[in-house]
A and B are shown apart, each in its own frame.
Chain A
Amino acid sequence: GESVGLHLPTLSVQEGDNSIINCAYSNSASDYFIWYKQESGKGPQFIIDIRSNMDKRQGQRVTVLLNKTVKHLSLQIAATQPGDSAVYFCAENAVENQGGKLIFGQGTELSVKP
């Protein structure tokens, strides 16, 4: 029979605007978080990471915010460019429970309109 595909959450922004991609994580014991960018047909590419003893970390045009109280992670991209169009994944690690392995979220598709 015909299968119904699951659609990723999509965020559409205008070129030059700021983008905010959100991620809810599941394990309160997670102590390391990472964001990946995946372009069509390619493997995930590291963007930025943050440890649980931090609330905020900045990179080049990107900022990651961590709210441990509500188990929420966000990725902010400043001055979004067409080259930022991709699927963005957050991942968490809880050394205690997972032995150091990353658990990935479902991903959010970012579409940048020129």
Chain B
Amino acid sequence: DAGITQSPRYKITETGRQVTLMCHQTWSHSYMFWYRQDLGHGLRLIYYSAAADITDKGEVPDGYVVSRSKTENFPLTLESATRSQTSVYFCASSESLPWEQYFGPGTRLTVT
């Protein structure tokens, strides 16, 4: 299917575990983004990528790692999950900046 997909859609993990959230887009957009959404904070940028092998930090990068070996994939890894990382995570892509970003359906992550 064309578009942007995220997996898993729901994840429960324990504190200290490593978790990887996947994001895949079929448009060959250059830019990809990871956001977290928490009540009272809106959408906050974690990391973004301008192209394969080019990534940069956003507003809240601590505790997260990203990679982008292929244009279409942009996985987000929580190296040692903490309860404060319980959130809904959205991946987005954009053909260029600062134009509109297309969002995936989100991953709801709960860290116990």
Contacts and interface: CB of A to CB of B under 8 A. Distances in A.
A89 interface: yes
Contacts, number: 55
Interface in A39-65: 41-46, 49
Q: How large is the interface on B (under 10, 10 to 19, 20 to 34, 35 or more residues)?
A: 20 to 34
A93 B44 CA distance: 14
Interface string B18-61: 00000000000000010000011111110010000000101000
A46 B58 CA distance: 21
B90 A43 contact: yes
Given A43-B106, A44-B90, A101-B48, A106 B101 contact: no
Given A5-B39, A89-B43, A101-B45, A43 B105 contact: yes
A42 B40 contact: no
A89 to B, nearest CB: 7
Interface string B79-112: 0000000000010100001111111111000000
Nearest to B90: A43
Contacts of B40: 5-6, 106
Interface of B: 33, 39-45, 48, 56, 58, 90, 92, 97-106
The 7 A-B pairs at the shortest CB distance, nearest first, are namely A100-B97, A6-B40, A43-B103, A93-B98, A104-B43, A32-B98, A46-B100
